Amino acid sequence: MFNLTGPLVMIILVGGGAGYAYYKDTQSRMAILQENNAKLEIAVKTNEEALKSMQADLQLANEQAQKVNAEFAKIREQNSVLTNKLNRHDIGLLAAAKPGLVERTVNRASAKAMRCFSLLSGATYTKEEINATSAKEFNSECPWLWPGRMPGNEPAEVGGSDQTDQETAAYLASRRRSEQQPAN
């Protein structure tokens, strides 16, 4: 009969070699897949961080847009008040009838409006503005700029100490700057 040992050993050796080659190939594929998985995890983490940053930026942009819209609403309201004032009077007819009165009124209103621009540009408050007890007394053309009474302090007296006036002016200037700066 045939001796089956030689072919059987050959089959076992070929099968073992093929199994070893398959094992090595599988191990190298697993190493490549693990590297790719690590790269993907890093990419996912980077994308999540970018997404969080973009969401924070979007929220900040929405908050700023709401602020701007609120400011525009205030401006539209102020324009409406001015339009209503101007609609109540026929300035041309009034100027023809009483030119001196209209000239004084327009000049005073213009001076007050220019003071509004000065304050918005960073000018310091005058003693009269600091001592104002209402927004209309502060400046009837831009009452929305009135910072209000300072908490815990009495208004400075006209001709009061220079130190009190300087402290008050510094307080009001810092308050105005903090209101004008965007929130972080």
DSSP state string for 119-146: HHTTPPPPHHHHT-SSHHHH-TT-GGG-
CA distance 22 to 102: 102
Q: What whole-number distance in Å separates Cα of residue 81 and Cα of residue 182?
A: 27
Q: Which residue has the higher pLDDT, 135 or 25?
A: 25
CA 159 to chain centre: 40
Query: Which has more confidence, 157 or 46?
Result: 46
pLDDT in tens, 77-113: 888 887 887 788 788 888 888 889 989 988 998 999 8
Q: Where are the beta strands (DSSP E) in the chain?
A: none
Report the distance separating Cα 105 and Cα 8, nearest Å.
120
pLDDT grade, residue 158 (50/70/90)?
Answer: very low
CB 115 within 8 A of CB 126: no
> Is the pTM higher than 0.85?
no
Nearest to 141 by CA among 113, 163, 167: 113
Q: Return d(Cα 93, Cα 7) in angstroms, integer.
A: 125
Higher pLDDT, 61 or 8: 61
**Per-residue model confidence (pLDDT) at position 163:** 46
Which pLDDT band, with edges at 50, 70 and 90, does 167 fall under?
Answer: low
Residues present in the chain in total: 184
Q: What are 123-132's pLDDT values in tens digits?
A: 888 888 888 8
Q: What is the pLDDT of residue 176?
A: 62
Segment 40-65 shows an average pLDDT of 96
